Chains A and B, each alone.
Chain A
Amino acid sequence: MEIRLSSILLAAALLSGCGWFHRGEKPQNQVVVEEPQSDPSIVEPQVNRREVTTPKIKAKDVELGAYFGALSIQDFGVNPVYGARLAYHVSEDVFFEGLVATSKAGTTSLEDEFPQITVVSNAGRHFTYYDLDLGYNVLPGEIFLGRGRAFNSQLYVTVGMGDVKFAETDQFALNFGVGERLLITDWLAMHLDVRDHVFETSLTGRTKNVDNIEATVGLTTFF
C-alpha cells in the first residue's frame, strides 16, 4: 500500500515536471505572424490603374423651335404671326409647352369705311402673347408617304393660359389648341397647329370675349 502511494506521488511529480521543459515552446494553436522580409527578386508593378467610366445616356425630352402662320384677330383681320415654342415631354402622353409670338393687327371695317376714325393707335396694333400650356398626345401613330416611307406622328390637344398684349394693354387669355407633330427624323419635327386665344376686351364698344384663331406651321428640334 505504501509502495503504491509512493509510485502515484512519483508519477504526479514527473507529470508536473514535464511542463517545466516546455516553457520556452510556443503553443501550437496560436497564429505566428512572421515579419515581412523584403525579397529583392519581387518587382512592384508601376502600372496606373485605369478608371472605367460608364457612358451616360443623353435624354432628349426638350423640344425647341419656331413657327409662323396666320392669326385672325377678331375685328382686325387676318395677319401673319411668328412665334417660338419650348416644350418639355414628361411622358409619352403628357408635355408642358411655352409659346411666345407676335403679330400686327390690321384695321377694323369701321376704320376702312371711315379712315378718320382710329380704334387703336399704330403702336397698339402690335399683338404679342405668351402661353403656358399642358398638352396631351391623344392619337400617336404613323403617317405613310408612298410605299417605303413612314413618319411617326402625334395628334395632340393643348389647353393653357397666358397673356395677350394688344392695344398696349395686357389681358388674361385662355387658349385651346389642337395640333399634329410629324417627326421627319427622331430629332426634327414639323408642327401643324390650330389655336384659339380667348380674352375679354371692350375695344370695339361693348365688353365681350373675343376669339383669335391662328393656324401655324412650325419646325422643332429635340435635344
Chain B
Amino acid sequence: MRRLLASVLLMQALCVNFACAGERLLQLVVTQPFLEMRSGPGRGYPVVYVVGRDETVTVLYSRTDWYKVRAPRGQEGWTRRDELALTALPSGAPAPIPPYPDFTSHRWELGGGYGVYNRENLVTAYADYGLTDSIDIEAVVQQAFGTLDNRVVASIGLRHTFIPEWKWFSPTAGIGTAYQHIADKVPPAPLESNNQMAYVSLGARGFITRRFMWRADWRHYVVFNNLNVYEDLEEWKFGLAVFF
C-alpha cells in the first residue's frame, strides 16, 4: 500500500507538469477596456495585474470557472470565465470559451449518495450516459450495511426522463437488471449468497447550479432464486451529481 501511494505521487509529479512541454496554447486578444488577473482561482483573491485593450494573453489551463492566463510581459494570474469570454481570437472571432453544459441535453452524469436498501444503510455511486435527451443508460455500484449481512449490488438499466425540459424537477422511470452479493455477518449463512435481480424504478431529477444536480430514486427489485419463493426488495436513495 505504501509503495502504491508513493508511486501515485511520483507518477503525478512526473506527468502533470512535464506533459505540457511543447503544447500549443490559446492566444486571446482583450477587446474590453481591460482584463483583470487575480492571484488565485476565487472571487476573493486580489487583482494583481491588469491587461489592457488589444493586448494578447495566453491561456494556460482552467480550474472550475477560472482560467490561468499569462500577460504579454510574463505575469500570470487567474481570470473569470465570463470576463475571458469577452475576448477574441487574433482573427477577430469570439473566444472559444466553452459555455456551461446544457442541463436538459447533457450526456454524462457522475454521482453518489445515501439510501436505504432492504432497511439497510446504503452507499451508492453511479455513472449515467444519455442516449437521447430523455433516455439514459445508467450503471450503479452500491454497498448496503445491515445488522445481519452486508450486500454489494451492481446494476445496469435504462431510465426515461418524462419531460427533460423541466429543469428543476422532472420525473423519471426506469427498468434494468442487477446482481447482489450477500456477505453474512451473523450466522446462519444465507441459503444463496449471489442473486440476479430485475428492477423497476420511479424517481426524479433536478438542476441545482452550473454542473451540479440532484437525483432521487425508488426501486423495486425482484430476486431470482432457486428456493421456490418469491422474494422482492425495496430501495430508495438520494444523491448529488455532476453533469458534463
Interface residues of A (CB under 8 A from B): 54-61, 64-66, 68, 82-84, 88-92, 94, 96, 102, 132, 134, 137, 140-142, 150, 152, 154, 161-163, 169-172, 183, 186-188, 219, 221-223
Distance to closest chain B CB from A198 (angstroms): 12
Instruction: State the CA gap A140–B42 with chains docked (Å).
Output: 8
Q: Is the interface of B mostly helix, strand, loop or mixed?
A: mixed
Structural contact, A141 and B67, CB atoms closer than 8 A:
no
Instruction: State the CA gap A50–B41 with chains docked (Å).
Output: 37
Given contacts A65-B9, A88-B242, contact A57 B59 (CB under 8 A): yes
Q: B8 to chain A: which residues have CB within 8 Å?
A: 64-66, 84
Structural contact, A64 and B185, CB atoms closer than 8 A:
no
Given contacts A92-B43, A96-B112, contact A186 B68 (CB under 8 A): yes
B residues 217-231 in Cβ contact with A at 8 Å: none
Instruction: State the CA gap A161–B44 with chains docked (Å).
Output: 31
Instruction: State the CA gap A61–B17 with chains docked (Å).
Output: 15
How many residues on the B side are at the interface (Cβ–Cβ under 8 A)? 53
Structural contact, B64 and A55, CB atoms closer than 8 A:
no
Q: Is B191 among interface residues, defined by CB-CB distance under 8 A?
A: no
Distance to closest chain A CB from B181 (angstroms): 12
Give the residue name and chain of the B residue nearest to A131 (CB). Answer: B123
Structural contact, B26 and A54, CB atoms closer than 8 A:
yes
Q: Is B75 among interface residues, defined by CB-CB distance under 8 A?
A: no
Structural contact, A142 and B45, CB atoms closer than 8 A:
yes
Structural contact, B242 and A172, CB atoms closer than 8 A:
no
Structural contact, B26 and A64, CB atoms closer than 8 A:
no
Structural contact, B211 and A90, CB atoms closer than 8 A:
yes
Q: Is B212 among interface residues, defined by CB-CB distance under 8 A?
A: yes
